[in-house]
Structure formats: C-alpha cells, structure tokens
Amino acid sequence: MSETMGSGRGPAGSPPVTEQVVGQLQGADTRLMTIMESLIRHLHGFVEDVRPTAAEWEAGLAFLARTGSFCTPTRQEFVLLSDMLGLTTLVDDVNNQGPADMTPSSVEGPFHSVAPPRELGDLIAAGPEWGRAESAVIHGTVQDCHGNRLPGAILDVWQADDKGHYDTQDAEQPEGNLRGLFTTDENGEYWFRTVKPASYPVPMDGPAGDMLRAMGRHPMRPGHLHIRVEAAGHHTLTTHVFVNDDPYLDSDAAFAVKPEIIVDFEPREDQASIERYGMDGPYLDVTFDIRLATESEMKR
C-alpha cells in the first residue's frame, strides 16, 4: 500500500491523490488514457489553486447538473459553455494552424445546415430582411498560399439577418434563406448578394447565461457571415467574416474574432458599381479574399 498511499508528491509537486488517480489509469485506449491523465492533472491543479470549500465544490457540481438539465436534442448547453469560455476557439485553433498567409479559421458555431446551391451573383436574402436591411455584395477570390487562384472551390455561406436570426430560428424566413453554396469561376472568383448581418445575443435563459452575468459579461456576438471553403487538395477552411464597425468586435461572447477576418462594408453609390452587380441602388461592398493551405502545409 505504501506505493499508492504514500505522502510523496508527484510531478510539479502534485498531491498524492493525484498520483493515485493517474496510477489507476489502465484502459486499452492509449489516446483516451493520455486525455484522462491530462484532464485529471489539470482538474486537480485547479482544486489545489483555488482550494474550494465543500460548499463551493457542491455549487459547481450543481451548476453542471443544471447545465445538463438544459440540454435537449436541439440545444447543447455544454457547447455554449465551451463557446463562452473560449474553449471552442482554442480547440479550433489547435486543429487549424497553417502558413502565415492562410486565412485563419474560426469556429463553426451551431447554426450550420445544408445550404441550397446557388449561381454566382445570386441574392441569398429572400426573406423579409430584403428591403428592410442594408444590401451588400460580398466578393473575392479563393487562392492557395502562393497566389494561385483556385477555380471550382466550393463556398458554403450562412448568416443571420438584420435582426440576428438564422432561418432555422425564424418562421418568417423561408428555408435556406441567407444560405448558399457557390462555386468559384475559372478565375477563382466568387460574388453574391445579401444583407448586412447584425450582432445578436447568445441564449441567456440557462446556466451559460447565468455564468455570463456572474462574470459581468454581455451575451453579444458581433455581426458576421460564416464561410466554409472546400477546394481539391486543400485543407477545408471554416471561418467567419466580421463587420468592421460592430461595437462588439472587441468582446465577442464566443471569442471568434481575428484581425484578418474583419472586413469593411464600404458604401457604393456609383452607377457603374450598382449595375455591375445588378443592385437597384446604393449598397455595401465587401472584398474578402480567401487563402487556403494544402493539407501538407498544415501544422500538426
């Protein structure tokens, strides 16, 4: 018994019970054992750092149980906790490190769904937001990290409307509204018409909302589009495109903002531009060029 119950401390001065728990790991799945050892050491380190009282620990476990009680087939409150604590962004980051020139990835979020195929130039805003919101044209190129254009790349685009709602949350929007699948042309270019997305709050009626309030934080996500880009031979990129005049860029509740994916929505009033994109009046012009890495250029 002395080996497992001695008072000697382990790596980095860990307490004996930490070494006992790690010492009992004997599962066959070595990846899972690696994950569990790290999880055990970090959770024990957390307890050693903050020295929670029994009442504090009980409150923490009750919070987790309450979070579980908010989970349904269509709402995963633990995903929301992960988003609000920056963990989803960090997991995304560790899996998507590429060359410096690559467009950075950003979290997918919970609102992706199958998008309708569209033609370049199509209007993806066919709901009540059209006519009500500022109209916009989003255009750019898809390239590799060496400046070569990528024809035939598939862009999967989804966004919320000017009230911050996705079609799947809003009975007034037609199915597939503000979504689209586009294919770059022979020059690796894409363009489509839409409306300027608005900032919106994450759900605040559950434990994640309680946590945000306790941390003194607001629930807002700055206005953004989501874009996923697939091109043969390249690492699929899932990212955001953020509106550069949004007041929440510095405090995105999901920590998904990166400087390279903030874009100008530039007002255009000249007739040549209006006609070029088939707009019926002034609009906001957005250039967003996307650079993909090959799988072998990605850092592992």
Strands 200-201 and 290-292: unpaired
Q: How far is the CB of 260 from its own copies (least distance, A)?
A: 10
- The nearer residue to its own copies, 15 or 282, going by C-beta atoms, is 15
- Nearest partner of 198 among 224, 220, 217, judged by Cα: 224
Give me the DSSP letters along 4-48: HH-----GGG--HHHHHHHHT---S-HHHHHHHHHHHHHHHHHHH
Answer for which of 29, 205, 270, 275 binds its own copies (CB under 8 A) is 29
Q: Are 249 and 257 in contact (CB under 8 A)?
A: yes
Does 33 sit near its own copies (CB under 8 A)? yes
- The nearer residue to its own copies, 173 or 239, going by C-beta atoms, is 239
| Cα 264 to Cα 153, 178, 179, 220, distances in angstroms | 23, 19, 21, 20
Strands 290-292 and 135-144: parallel
Q: Is 124 helix (H, G, I), strand (E, B) or coil?
A: coil
Does 120 sit near its own copies (CB under 8 A)? no
Residues of this chain, 121-140, that bind its own copies according to CB under 8 A? none
The residues pairing with 144 across neighbouring beta strands, listed in sequence order, are 292
**Interatomic CA distance for residues 165 and 263, integer angstroms:** 21
Q: What is the DSSP letter of 133?
A: S
Answer for which of 56, 264, 266, 295 binds its own copies (CB under 8 A) is 56
Does 162 sit near its own copies (CB under 8 A)? no
Residues of this chain, 207-266, that bind its own copies according to CB under 8 A? 214-217, 249-251, 255, 257-259
User: For residue 177, what are its two tokens?
Assistant: 């509204």
Does 15 sit near its own copies (CB under 8 A)? yes
Does 39 sit near its own copies (CB under 8 A)? yes
Does 40 sit near its own copies (CB under 8 A)? yes
Q: How far is the CB of 181 from its own copies (least distance, A)?
A: 21
- The nearer residue to its own copies, 85 or 279, going by C-beta atoms, is 85
- The nearer residue to its own copies, 29 or 119, going by C-beta atoms, is 29
Stretch that binds its own copies, among 31-39, 146-154, 162-170, 171-179 (CB under 8 A): 31-39
* CA 48 remoteness from chain centre: 32
In this structure, which amino acid lies at residue 270?
A: D
Q: CB neighbours of 206 closer than 8 A, spacing ≥ 6?
A: 67, 70, 75, 77, 80
Answer for which of 50, 169, 204, 233 binds its own copies (CB under 8 A) is 50
- The nearer residue to its own copies, 21 or 126, going by C-beta atoms, is 21
* CA 149 remoteness from chain centre: 26
Write the binding mask 65 to 84 for its own copies: x where contact by CB under 8 A, - elsewhere: x-xxx-x----xxxx--x--
With vertex at residue 216, the alpha carbon angle to CA 212 and CA 221, rounded to the nearest 5 degrees, is 55
**Interatomic CA distance for residues 88 and 84, integer angstroms:** 8
Does 113 sit near its own copies (CB under 8 A)? no
Write the binding mask 82 to 101 for its own copies: x where contact by CB under 8 A, - elsewhere: x--xxxxxxxxxxx------
Q: How far is the CB of 144 from its own copies (least distance, A)?
A: 23
Answer for which of 12, 13, 30, 49 binds its own copies (CB under 8 A) is 49
- The nearer residue to its own copies, 94 or 272, going by C-beta atoms, is 94
